[in-house]
Amino acid sequence: MTYTALARKWRPKNFAELVGQEHVRRALVNALGSGRVHHAFLFTGTRGVGKTTIARIFAKCLNCEQGVTAEPDGTCASCREIDAGRFPDLIEVDAASRTKVDDTRELLDNVQYAPARGRYKVYLIDEVHMLSAHSFNALLKTLEEPPPHVKFLLATTDPQKLPVTVLSRCLQFNLKRLPAAAIAAHMQHILTQEGIAFEPAGVKLIAQAADGSMRDGLSLLDQLIAFGGGTANEAEARAMLGTVARDHVVRLAGALAGGDAAALLAAATALEEFSPDYAQVLDELAALLVRVAFRQTLKDYEGDELFDAALLAELAGKLSPEDVQLYYQTAIVGRRDLALAPDPRTGFEMTLLRMLAFRPAGGEAPRVGAPSRPAAAAVPAAPAREATATAPGPAPAAATGDWAQIVARLELSGAARQLAHHCVFLGRQGTVVRLALDPRNQLLRTAALEEKLAQALARHYGEPVRLEFQAATAAAETPAQAQRRASEDELALARRAFEEDAAVKGLRERFGATVLPDTVRPVK
């Protein structure tokens, strides 16, 4: 029994079947429709993104027996022969194996002759950058003055190696790497048409491993179907690709969310029996953290085939946005540094411990064996300050300094930060934060600025809060007033020190010099 590989069987035969590359398809369709078809085209891009496929479709469009069209019928003799690779007027050349100038001259000797069967003689030169300098010179003359019945379709993965003289005579189209989502969707369509059972998560893993190449993806899919005994499931995909099960990555994220270093190291130790690629584990952990950040930012984010909405919602509630960003950054930096570690496992475990060792400002690093607790609970500062914050009624004098420190850590800028600076912290009870606003700054209190301040405090405390305002008394001091008083005290101290300086006293006594107080400033 003859089996045709999926990459060959499902190779697009017209522009409608092409996946992605809309910018190229649109340009070619418009050129064919208007009759303004250039004599030389250069298709660039990484492997497996459709360079030669588009070139073959274009050759069919030029030579279809129904006429030059963007929609070849696919049934005429010319179209069928081009699909089968035996059309005499489509000359396909692998430049990697024909680099000599003699090969190029032999190829171009027949350019002047009319097509044998078709409307145009089409030269498809793949990996054209492999031609020698002399071969490019031989090709250049024909590109400058081509016969009207000849079209050149050049394809390359490395356009930088082409001479500028060749580039300037071609219309250049850069084919993009295909998104994993587009590759996965096309694979699912193929599997459905082929009647092959599959799991979306397994297909998603294969699409990610394809690294932007549809051809590579379909080759991996063929391999997965063989590996899985006729199915394309997630467990087989992970086993074939050598990736660890999702449960292990979720367990790592759960330990991070609980701030439990002991559980984190236990989860890392459990991975050892699978001989994992630790760089890939960090990649998957970083990918999960990205989805958690999406869930925190976009409340209607529903996850994907790999991580569902319920898991993301749970992690998003346990982790603060600051921790998610810190863990993500630590994961990708740790992945880069794995090669410098004594061994990959040591580097991996140290990366995980580093996530817990470094905390956002005001946070508290957990100890190994410490009980689980939500990471967001670590954001408020020391217990003494929290006791002050939860006590209702007027705040003691120490609370003013605490509020100034809290304001300094809040993610606020502009007018919203000014609003916080001109408030006095009265207390916090449950989700209610009571503030007193300096009456001279009532104009700062707008609905938009109140909302920004409430959101910043919610991130600080790790739970939603509601603000209650009242007018500040004369005895209360806002952070802005405290800052101004400190600046004035510092200035007065500087002026007094200047006045008492021996050199200054000498100048005043000998020359009758006068000190200008406004010119004295503290040295920073």
Mean pLDDT (whole number) for 186-215: 91
In a domain? residue 106: yes
Buried b or exposed e, range 324-363, using 16+ CB within 10 angstroms: bebbbebbeebbeebeebeeebebbbebbbbbbeebbebb
Dihedral in degrees, nearest 10, Cα atoms 220, 224, 226, 230:
-130
Long-range contacts of 271-280 (CB under 8 A, 24+ apart): 271/244, 272/345, 274/244, 274/248, 276/242, 276/243, 276/244, 277/242, 277/243, 278/338, 278/344, 278/345, 278/347, 278/348, 279/335, 279/338, 279/344, 280/242, 280/243, 280/244
Full DSSP string of 255-293: HHHHT-HHHHHHHHHHTGGG---HHHHHHHHHHHHHHHH
Q: What does the pLDDT look like over 43-89, one tens digit per residue?
A: 999 888 999 999 999 999 999 998 899 999 889 999 999 988 889 99
Q: What does the pLDDT look like over 269-280, one tens digit per residue?
A: 988 877 888 998
323 and 392 both lie in a single domain: no
236 and 252 both lie in a single domain: no
In a domain? residue 524: no
**What's the rounded Cα separation, in Å, for the pair 135 and 445?**
75
399 and 317 both lie in a single domain: no
12 and 80 both lie in a single domain: yes
The total number of structural domains in the chain stands at: 5
* Phi, psi angles (nearest 5°) of residue 435: -130, 150
Residue written as token pair 């500087």: 494
Boundary-marking domain end, from 174, 189, 224: 174
Inter-residue contact 63 to 82 (CB < 8 Å): yes
In a domain? residue 194: yes
Neighbours of 182 (CB within 10 A): 15
Q: What does the pLDDT look like over 390-418, one tens digit per residue?
A: 333 444 433 445 888 899 889 888 888 88
Could you tell me where the DSSP H helices lie in 338-372?
A: 344-357
* Span of 276-285, 331-340, 358-367 with lowest mean pLDDT: 358-367
20 and 115 both lie in a single domain: yes
Q: Which of 137, 144, 154, 87 is nearest to 117 (CA)?
A: 87
35 and 162 both lie in a single domain: yes
349 and 391 both lie in a single domain: no
Buried b or exposed e, range 228-267, using 16+ CB within 10 angstroms: beeebbbebbbebbebbebebbbbbbbbbbbbbbebbbeb
Q: Using the Cα atoms of residue 179, residue 182, residue 188 and residue 190 in order, give the sign of their dihedral.
A: negative
Q: What is the maximum alpha-carbon separation in the chain? A: 114
Structural domain of 155: 6-174
In a domain? residue 1: no
Q: What percent of the chain shows pLDDT beyond 90?
A: 37
Q: Which of 50, 38, 40, 80 is nearest to 63 (CA)?
A: 80
149 and 15 both lie in a single domain: yes
Boundary-marking domain end, from 315, 342, 376: 376
Residue 112: its pLDDT value, please?
A: 84
**CATH label of the domain that carries residue 212:** 1.10.8.60
- The tokens for 325 are 């960003």
In a domain? residue 456: yes
The pLDDT-based confidence of 193 (bands split at 50, 70, 90) is very high
Q: What does the pLDDT look like over 94-151, one tens digit per residue?
A: 887 776 777 778 778 888 888 888 899 999 999 899 888 888 888 888 888 888 999 9
186 and 231 both lie in a single domain: yes
The DSSP symbol for 500 reads T
- The tokens for 437 are 């606003």
pTM here is 0.56
Q: Which helix (H) or strand (E) holds 241?
A: helix 234-241
Inter-residue contact 232 to 198 (CB < 8 Å): yes
10 and 159 both lie in a single domain: yes
- The tokens for 184 are 């996965």
Instruction: Assess whether pLDDT exceeds 70 at residue 366.
Output: no
- The tokens for 427 are 């207390």
In a domain? residue 466: yes
Boundary-marking domain end, from 122, 155, 174: 174
73 and 189 both lie in a single domain: no
70 and 188 both lie in a single domain: no
